[in-house]
Chain A
Amino acid sequence: MDISLKHVEYRYQKNTPFERLAIEDVSIDIPTGVYMAIIGHTGSGKSTVLQHLNALLQPTKGSVEIGEHEIVASQKNKNLKKIRQKVGIVFQFPEHQLFEETVEKDIIFGPLNFGVSETEAKERARIALKQVGLAEEILEKSPFDLSGGQMRRVAIAGVLAMEPDVIVLDEPTAGLDPRGRKEVMDMFYSLHKERKLSTILVTHSMEDAARYADQIVIMQQGKVVKKGTPEEIFSSPTELVEMGLDVPEVVRFQLKLEEKLDMKLEKIFLTIDELSSAVAKRISRGVRS
């Protein structure tokens, strides 16, 4: 399912003294099957963009196409339920939204609401639980007896059980330890690969964007300031730094090294291994000459 934002503007509390422009003239195309990262600092408008992806917010200008649906400014929208079934959002700290007595009841809540039969919803719960790497035994447990990491996975399973075509992740690893972070990110990546699930990662981590995404959108002060593949985005890192944005730590390190050693490597490297090997070649060549 393709999603396309066209010249979207959003103002919070429009026509009140508290009116505040959150995003302005934002155009983003999200084709089916893509892994896209939307990056920006706190307050850059990325969370506002996120809420347009399944019509939680309606633009105050412009339009959002979500599959066959079009959400436009100042027009009452129907059939939002269908959109929300197809676009699943994993919010920050999704475990705070757990509420049921058992893990199973919590996971099937969404599918049941969307009219799925109980038998099928339970089957989906089993599959989703497996996808997030949890054992079936916990289905009968209370979600509140689980560890934080397990609770987060249960919450994610609840979104997966709706069988969305698009999954939107808002800082999905916040608060997890480094191992948990890697496990969750790898899990979403394999879901993306295996199920061709369109994945939109909203994050402030340039690291994750460089590692997982095919497409990166950079937001700043409510506007899209850069779009492209990781290679394109990070090929001119000094420009990003001048704009007050971050670059992945590998890139940052390469820039520092190039400056101090007064040299330029052939290109920007996005992994530690590539960079170390390029530097080693350069240094040994220096010795020979």
Chain B
Amino acid sequence: MKNSIVSLKDVSFQYDTQERYALNHVSFDIYEGEWLAIVGHNGSGKSTMAKLLNGLQFPQSGQIHVCGIELNEESIWDIRKKLGMVFQNPDNQFVGTTVQDDVAFGLENNGIPRDEMIQRVGDSLKKVKMEKFLYQEPHHLSGGQKQRVAIAGVLALRPSIIILDEATSMLDPRGREEVLETVRLLKEEKSLTVISITHDLEEAAKADRIIVMNKGEVFREGTPEEIFSMDEQLVQLGLDIPFSVKMTKAFRVQGIELAKQYLSEEELVKELWTSRSNM
């Protein structure tokens, strides 16, 4: 039985300066322990959703529940303890004068005892491979390194839900993989729920479930297999399809028969190997 850990009911939100609703009657559940990818083009409403989940904005109508608590101005501080957020641009979230101070900031705010704080700062920085930079000042770090520190800051608070708001979009491919791998391990160890708001379709392909947003509404919801069978429709929505799906299509054009859409390169290579062995 899947337990809903976050639920949105008929949520609508409009920015003051805009005529159009950024979110228009959005309802869905996020289940405990899942990795949910929320994808959509720029302006589809996906980042607004992140802001609502963390109480940076409040919906004009509808309700949001996090861990059974209704999100409102009174409950927001409790909810933020359960739900850590990593933003896109690390420069806007770096508060410490050194790497270790930055990671410690949230812990200090939450009154974590000093010994435990030192331990947690070290552990989280190790997890994002930044433990050698304890005393570095943020402006000496590259964008990718800063982002890893920001992620460490969230990990240190040990939330039950982590929201990545395009958090890996500025990292290089290896950095991105390292960070996602870290989050993946943490998810397993601590049964974290991961909400990843992303343009990266390769990353979304590895999620348990995908929600496609378009014009402030949930356009489609399903497993990666279901979503990527939308094919060109995703491209029309300003998105893309994973490399292995494109490669599968190109092979089919060349007359190579393949049984299905492959969501990973390994699967596709294996299928080509099997089909050739059978010839």
Interface on A for B, CB 8 Å cutoff?
12, 18, 20, 41-43, 47, 92-93, 145, 147-149, 171, 174-180, 204-206, 244, 246, 249-250, 252-253, 256-257, 260-261, 272-273, 275-277, 279-280, 283-284, 286-287
Residues in B with CB closer than 8 Å to A147 are 42-43
- The complex places the Cα of A200 from the Cα of B102 at a distance, in Å, of 34
Residues in A with CB closer than 8 Å to B239 are 177-179
Q: Is A256 a contact of B42 with CB atoms below 8 Å?
A: no
Taking the complex as formed, is B219 at the interface, i.e. its CB lies under 8 A from any CB of chain A? no
The answer to whether A276 and B142 touch (CB under 8 A), given A179-B41, A257-B269, is no
- The complex places the Cα of A205 from the Cα of B169 at a distance, in Å, of 12
- The complex places the Cα of A205 from the Cα of B270 at a distance, in Å, of 27
Which of A178, A180, A250, A257 has the most chain B CB atoms inside 10 A of its CB? A178
Q: How many A-B residue pairs have C-beta atoms within 8 angstroms? Tell me.
A: 118
- The complex places the Cα of A179 from the Cα of B244 at a distance, in Å, of 19
Q: Is B143 a contact of A42 with CB atoms below 8 Å?
A: yes
Smallest CB-CB A-B distances: 7 pairs: A42-B144, A280-B254, A204-B172, A276-B250, A178-B240, A179-B238, A177-B41
Q: Which of A47, A256, A279 contacts B266 (CB 8 A)?
A: A256
Given A147-B43, A260-B273, 12 other A-B residues pairs in contact with their CB atoms under 8 A = A42-B171, A47-B142, A145-B17, A147-B42, A175-B166, A180-B42, A246-B174, A253-B244, A260-B270, A260-B272, A273-B250, A279-B256
Q: Which of A92, A178, A276 contacts B253 (CB 8 A)?
A: A276
- The complex places the Cα of A232 from the Cα of B89 at a distance, in Å, of 35
A176's nearest neighbour on chain B, judged by CB, is B42
Q: Mark B245-265, 1 if CB is under 8 A from A, else 0.
A: 011001101111000000001
Q: Mark B100-143, 1 if CB is under 8 A from A, else 0.
A: 00000000000000000000000000000000000000001011
Residues in B with CB closer than 8 Å to A149 are 42-43
Q: Is A178 a contact of B199 with CB atoms below 8 Å?
A: yes
Interface size class of B (residues with CB under 8 A): 35 or more
Taking the complex as formed, is B26 at the interface, i.e. its CB lies under 8 A from any CB of chain A? no
B199 to chain A, nearest CB (A): 5
Q: Is B247 a contact of A283 with CB atoms below 8 Å?
A: no
A209 to chain B, nearest CB (A): 12
B199's nearest neighbour on chain A, judged by CB, is A177
Q: Is B172 a contact of A92 with CB atoms below 8 Å?
A: no
A256 to chain B, nearest CB (A): 5
25 residue pairs from A and B, CB less than 8 Å apart: A18-B140, A41-B174, A42-B175, A147-B42, A177-B40, A177-B199, A177-B238, A177-B239, A178-B199, A179-B240, A246-B174, A249-B243, A252-B265, A253-B265, A253-B268, A253-B269, A256-B265, A256-B266, A256-B269, A276-B247, A276-B250, A279-B251, A279-B254, A279-B256, A279-B272
Residues in A with CB closer than 8 Å to B145 are 42-43
Q: Is A175 a contact of B88 with CB atoms below 8 Å?
A: yes
Q: Which of B88, B140, B244 contacts A20 (CB 8 A)?
A: B140
Which of B17, B199, B235 has the most chain A CB atoms inside 10 A of its CB? B199
B274's nearest neighbour on chain A, judged by CB, is A260
Taking the complex as formed, is B170 at the interface, i.e. its CB lies under 8 A from any CB of chain A? yes
- The complex places the Cα of A136 from the Cα of B276 at a distance, in Å, of 57
A139 to chain B, nearest CB (A): 19
Which of B201, B244, B272 has the most chain A CB atoms inside 10 A of its CB? B272
Q: Mark B162-191, 1 if CB is under 8 A from A, else 0.
A: 000010011111110000000000000000
Taking the complex as formed, is B1 at the interface, i.e. its CB lies under 8 A from any CB of chain A? no
Q: Is B250 a contact of A272 with CB atoms below 8 Å?
A: yes
Q: Is B43 a contact of A286 with CB atoms below 8 Å?
A: no
Residues in B with CB closer than 8 Å to A145 are 17
Residues in A with CB closer than 8 Å to B240 are 178-179
